[in-house]
Each structure stands twice: as C-alpha cells, then as structure tokens.
C-alpha cells in the first residue's frame, strides 16, 4: 500500500513540476524537471521567513526595504517599494514619467486571477503566483524589478501558502494541489516543497499523505508555520470519522474536536527524518515557532491557559506561565480559548502575542457594537517577564495592537495607524492603514515614536 | 477524505431537488473537490440552473446571482486555518467577514474583507461539523448567542431566500454530504 502511495505521490510531483504555461514575452522560461526524492533533502542553514504565514500578505522585507504588490482596478498589479532609509514608498521603477501601466514598466504585473505574493531576499525579488483558475508560477527578478523570468510553472492550479522561507539557495513553501483518486473524487495534496534556485528543481520535503492514514482520515490539512534555528515547522490536521448526536449539537462538536488531531513536526534542514514535536486534539493548543523553540498555549483541564516553550533540539518543554492570564493580567480567565491568543512575532528576544482580553456591548442610537479588545503582550522566555504593548489602533469595533510588517536591524515596520476609510467609494468598515518605522526599543516600551512612511497607496 | 457514493449522490440530488422546488431561489453549500475546499454555490430552484454566491471584491457584500459564466470570479471556498476554518475567496486573499454590529436584530451580512492578521481572523472563523447526516457550517465562538443567520444580502434580511446557511439544532438548511 505504501509503495502504491509512493508511486501516486511521485506521479503528483511529476505533474506538479511539468512546465505547462507559455511565459510572457518579457520573460524566459527555464526548463523544470521532477526531482524524485520525496524527503531527506538537505537544504543548508540560514533560513528565515521572507513572508509571514498570515492569510493576508502585505509584503516582504529585506535589510533595505519592503516590497508590496497592490491591485489596480483593471486587474493588473503594481510592485511598490518602501525604502527604510528615506521612509518613502515608490513604484519599483526607474523610468521617468512612467505610468506604471504596461509591461514596459518594471513595477507592473500583468492581470492574474489569484494572489501574487512578493518574496524579498538580499539578492532577488520573487513573485509567487497562486490561484485556483490559472496555473501557479514563480517569477524571479532583480531587486530593482529588472531581468524578470519565470523560474517555475506548475502544471495545474495550485494554492501556495503565503508563508515562504528562504536562504541563498532555496525557497521553501507549502503547496496544495488537487489529485483525482480512484473513486472519481478529488483529494487535496499538501506538500512542503523546496525550490532550488540554481537548478530550478523542486523537491518535496514533507508530504501530508505520508503522515496520515488514508483509510481513516476523513479530512486532512497542513499548515507551514515557520522555521526554527534547525528546521521547518509544519502542523498537520487530520480528522477521523466521529459519531454525531442528533439530540445535541454541542455533543457533536465535542466529538468532532476529539476526532481531530493536530501534529506539529519539525523537518530538519539537514535532511534527517521529520520529528513529531507535539500532538493535540482540536481547540486544545495553538502555537508558533520562533528561534530555537515552538511556543504554544494549552487549555488545561481546569479551563485555564498555560503558556509553554518546547525547544525543538532537545524536545524539552518549559512552562513560561502556568496560568497565563493571571500571571500577566492578575486575574483568571477561564473563558479564554487557545484561539484568543494570536502569536504575532519574535522581537529582540521577546515573544509577541495579541490576546483577546475583553469583549463588551457598546450601544448608541442605532447600533450595538460588539467591541473586542486585543491586547499585546511581550514575553521574555528567559526571565519569563511579561509586559503589555500599549501601541494600538481602534477600528471596526476592535482594539488592535500595532501590527509588525517587517524587521530590519533595530527598526520595525508597523501599521502605526488604522482608521476608517474616508473615501465614500468604500463600504462601511473599510479601513486605511498607514505604516511607520519605529525602533524595537520604543515598540517594546510602548513609546509611540513613529517615523511615518510617505505612502503612495495606503494599505487596506 | 469523504467520498460520495452513487446512492448517497442520488439522495443528495433528490434532496437538492426537493429543497429547490420548495424554495424558488435559495443557496446551499455544495461539495467542492474535497472535504475542505468547498465551493459555495446557490441554485435557481424551478429552472434548475445554478446560481453562485457573488460579491467579488474587497468590502463587497456577498449576493446570490445567476451563474453567468463568471464563476471563476465568484467562487468562495472553505479552507482550514488553525483550529477552525475560513470562508475564502477563490482568487484573492480575503475572507468572508461576519459583522459583529447588531443591525436591529440577529441578521449579519457576509462581506468580503481581508483576513485580519492581528486578531487571527476572529470575525471570520467558522467550524464545520457532521450533524444528522449533513456537514454544517457554524460561526466559531460567536459573540451573540442563539442561531446565526448569514445573509447573502442584508439589505433584505427578512427574506428567507437570502439565507445562505445557518446553524440551528432543529433545522439544517445549508449542508452537504
């Protein structure tokens, strides 16, 4: 059975790596071929997350600046570059008087039915085209937008997660493609893959199909969560069959949660076998990898949340806060769920999280706003010190800590201001986000010493 | 992965037809290519022609419209995220947002918004559950108790035909096998 499965996966990889789309005239297509190795590929060290694993990607930064891809009304897109030194946002184009609306412009991206995610390294800029109606592809260019070329085209529609890890030689990301099965159904194939930039060959580092029982699993999914100092971290979710209780929806939900197993794996950079780090049922844990550890919250039997640190090299677990809410806020919060804790970043040795700390109804004449308050907290995993981040915005009945877009040296690029959109062409609830640079020290001390970026376009 | 047998498929078809005949214009969630990526289609009851959930574009309300061949621009599907799921546009990186603001009642519109990274998509998370033979969508951690109705167009929130789906212990109008 495993052999058959292997052949099946191999076939999928061959399909994935076959070139199947004509490139634009301004590009050259490198030939691509299948790499039959499924796992065990050594990819070297020095990986960093070039883009976050967030669903909405606002861009990608390197040491000098931040690249964004923004949509135009005609379906095309533009590449914008925010220069940290000057705090200015410009089109990625050096031509004077350019309208940035054709392929003659280095900042112009032809219409594509899907998402286009920029990935910036210190040497190149890549665009990841992901879609369900057009074939996914990867484009490489210089940091000035010149010398564009398609370096990989998938033979079918594929959904590529925003999270992309990069070093000098590889781009690593998660791909979901769809495969016809023997029964006429279609199954998603989740793979963590490495694209070798020099050879333009793609290798599968981790396949969900190899880590789930096909005969038992009713549903399954995989998330690429990030990197540690030693490997890539993925989380799988496998849902087996469960009993339904026709008299109780809640009981059914409980059965569903218990039948859903999450497993966090580390896939070492050195090509050794993936290591399972943590297994839990639905709604029991939630976490993210940073540095040498996987940090997570866990719902205890007494209803309280505990904050833990799992070192991936030794698999040693340390309790950072047995009762997280009480140690931070001074009060127990049994109603707090694991999904109320949103892991956001790791800055200067501090783990940063946004936590839902309050919710209430605010009434006025016509509406009742269900207000939510998300509070930022910085945790030092060494000393276990916790401090509240006080830099926030309030919009759409939500108080939200200033979100970090990128780190560069001792600076952060953040959303310093999020306000309701003033343009009447937008619907109620639309927002305009302004970005700024701030020192890491000021951010962690909640000092609003922002250097606002001169934006050509506000972020939504 | 859930597979639909021929008998079950016939049962679904019969169920769909029964519901379609009972409700002139409505919308259901139909199975997509797999158990997680679920395309959300509506259908026009008596004619039998399909309709789809529309509203392509950020900040737009989702509406129900006739399938005019532009399905590629109007596909929404369900994707896993963390401990729950999100209803996401098929071509853009934004998700269905479920407003918290009370609008003189308990009806809430479905609107396309960017996923809010800072809050983990708190207003956009749903759960899928197998119940009474159907897969049902419910809002995850709703702030308002009771039944949750999600409207295709909340400008006419009282019309039952505008209901895309709801989670309710007594009736499941939106479901799939």
The residue among A267 and A187 whose pLDDT is bigger is A267
Note the pLDDT tens digit of each residue in A310-325.
999 999 999 999 999 9
Average pLDDT, chain A: 86
* Confidence category of residue B79, pLDDT binned at 50, 70, 90: confident
Note the pLDDT tens digit of each residue in A349-400.
999 999 999 988 887 776 667 788 999 999 999 999 999 999 999 988 889 9
Q: Does residue B10 carry a pLDDT above 60?
A: no
- Chain B: nearest CA to A368, how far in angstroms? 5
The closest CB to that of A354, out of B90, B100, B119, belongs to B119
Rounded mean pLDDT, A427-443: 89
Range of A258-267, B5-14, B132-141 with top mean pLDDT: A258-267
The closest CB to that of A359, out of B75, B91, B143, belongs to B143
Confirm or reject contact between A338 and chain B (CB < 8 A).
Answer: yes
How would you classify residue A214: left for phi > 0, otherwise alpha for psi between -120 and 50, otherwise beta? alpha
Torsion angle, alpha carbons of A280, A286, A290, A292, to 10: -30
**For testing the chain B interface, which of A132, A216, A254, A361 should be mutated: the one with the most B CBs within 10 Å?**
A132
The residue among B141 and A337 whose pLDDT is bigger is A337
The closest CB to that of B91, out of A131, A217, A460, belongs to A131
Rounded mean pLDDT, A224-230: 96
With CB atoms and an 8 Å threshold, state whether A354 touches B118. yes
| Separation in Å, CA A442 to CA A277, A403, A435 | 35, 14, 15
The residue among B162 and A193 whose pLDDT is bigger is A193
List the single range of A115-129, A227-241, A366-380, B66-80 with lowest mean pLDDT: B66-80
Query: CA A9 to CA A39: how far, in whole Å?
Result: 12
List the single range of A75-79, A190-194, A361-365, B157-161 with lowest mean pLDDT: B157-161
The residue among A194 and A56 whose pLDDT is bigger is A194
Q: Does residue A191 carry a pLDDT above 70?
A: yes
With CB atoms and an 8 Å threshold, state whether B34 touches A162. no
Query: CA A5 to CA A16: how far, in whole Å?
Result: 16
* pLDDT value of position A18: 33
- Chain A: nearest CA to B169, how far in angstroms? 6
With CB atoms and an 8 Å threshold, state whether B118 touches A342. yes
Query: CA A183 to CA B161: how far, in whole Å?
Result: 35
* Confidence category of residue B126, pLDDT binned at 50, 70, 90: confident
DSSP secondary structure string for all residues of A135-199 = --EEEEEETTS-S-EEEEE-SS-BEEEEEEEE-SSEEEEEEEEEEE-TTS-EEEEEEEEEEETTT
H helix or E strand, kind and range, residue A219: strand A217-227
ipTM summary value: 0.84
Comparing alpha-carbon positions, the chain B residue that sits nearest to A182 is B3
Confirm or reject contact between A70 and chain B (CB < 8 A).
Answer: no
The residue among A342 and B19 whose pLDDT is bigger is A342
Average pLDDT, chain B: 53
Strand order in the sheet with A451-452: A404-408, A411-420, A431-439, A451-452
- Residues in A closer than 8 angstroms to B111, CB to CB, are 427, 429
The closest CB to that of B58, out of A115, A187, A460, belongs to A460
What contacts 24+ positions apart, CB below 8 Å, involve B2-7? B2/A218, B2/A219, B2/B35, B2/B177, B3/A181, B3/A183, B3/A185, B4/A185, B4/B31, B4/B177
């Amino acid at each position: 059975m495993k052999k058959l499965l292997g052949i099946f996966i191999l076939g999928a990889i061959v399909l994935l790596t076959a070139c199947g789309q004509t490139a634009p005239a301004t590009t050259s297509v490198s030939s691509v071929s299948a790499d039959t190795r499924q796992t065990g590929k050594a990819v070297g060290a020095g990986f960093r997350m070039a883009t976050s694993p967030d669903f909405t990607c606002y861009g990608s930064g390197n040491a000098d600046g931040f690249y964004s891809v923004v949509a135009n009304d005609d379906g095309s897109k533009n590449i914008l570059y925010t220069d940290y030194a000057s705090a200015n946002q410009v089109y990625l184009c050096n031509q004077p008087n350019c309208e940035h609306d054709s392929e003659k412009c280095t900042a112009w991206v032809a219409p594509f039915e899907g998402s286009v995610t920029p990935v910036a390294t210190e040497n190149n800029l890549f665009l990841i085209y992901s879609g369900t109606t057009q074939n996914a592809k990867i484009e490489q260019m210089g940091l000035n937008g010149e010398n564009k070329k398609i370096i990989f085209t998938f033979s079918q529609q594929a959904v590529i997660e925003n999270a992309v890890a990069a070093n000098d030689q590889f781009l690593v990301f998660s791909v979901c493609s769809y495969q016809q099965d023997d029964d006429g159904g279609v199954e998603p194939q989740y793979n963590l893959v490495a694209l070798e930039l020099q050879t333009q060959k793609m290798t599968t580092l981790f396949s969900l199909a190899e880590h789930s029982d096909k005969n038992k699993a009713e549903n399954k999914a995989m998330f690429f969560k990030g990197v540690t100092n030693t490997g890539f971290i993925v989380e799988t979710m496998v849902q087996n069959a469960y009993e339904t209780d026709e008299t109780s929806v809640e009981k059914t939900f409980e059965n569903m949660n218990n039948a859903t197993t999450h497993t966090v794996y580390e896939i070492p950079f050195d090509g050794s076998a993936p290591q399972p780090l943590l297994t839990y049922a639905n709604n029991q844990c939630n976490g993210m990898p940073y540095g040498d550890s996987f940090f997570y919250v866990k719902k205890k039997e007494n209803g309280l949340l505990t904050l833990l640190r799992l070192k991936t090299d030794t698999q040693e677990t340390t309790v950072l806060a047995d009762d997280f809410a009480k140690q931070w806020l001074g009060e127990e919060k049994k109603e707090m769920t694991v999904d109320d804790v949103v892991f956001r970043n790791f800055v200067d040795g501090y783990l940063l999280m946004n936590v839902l700390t309050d919710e209430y109804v605010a009434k006025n004449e016509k509406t009742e706003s269900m207000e939510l308050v998300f509070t930022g907290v910085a945790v030092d995993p060494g000393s276990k010190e916790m401090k509240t981040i006080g830099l926030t915005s309030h919009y759409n009945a939500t108080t939200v800590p200033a979100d970090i877009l990128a780190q560069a040296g001792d600076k952060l690029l953040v959303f310093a201001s999020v306000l309701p959109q003033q343009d009447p062409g937008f619907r109620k609830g639309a927002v305009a986000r302004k970005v700024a640079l701030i020192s890491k020290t000021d951010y962690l001390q909640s000092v609003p010493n922002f250097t606002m970026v001169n934006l050509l376009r506000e972020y939504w | 992965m859930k597979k639909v047998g021929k008998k079950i498929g016939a049962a679904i078809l019969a169920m769909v037809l029964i519901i379609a005949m009972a409700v002139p214009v409505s919308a259901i969630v139909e199975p997509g290519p797999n158990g997680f990526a679920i395309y959300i289609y509506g259908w026009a009851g008596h004619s039998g022609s399909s309709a789809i959930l529309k509203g392509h574009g950020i900040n737009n309300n989702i509406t129900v419209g006739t399938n005019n061949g532009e399905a590629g621009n109007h596909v929404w599907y369900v994707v896993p995220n963390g401990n729950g799921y999100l209803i996401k546009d098929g071509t853009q990186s934004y998700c269905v947002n479920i407003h918290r603001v009370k609008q003189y009642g308990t009806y809430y519109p479905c609107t396309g918004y960017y996923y809010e990274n800072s809050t983990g998509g708190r207003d956009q998370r749903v759960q899928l559950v197998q119940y009474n033979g159907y897969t049902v969508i419910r809002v995850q951690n709703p702030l308002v108790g009771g039944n949750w109705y999600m409207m295709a167009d909340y400008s006419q929130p009282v019309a039952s035909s505008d209901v895309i789906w709801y989670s309710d212990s007594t009736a499941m109008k939106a479901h799939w096998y």
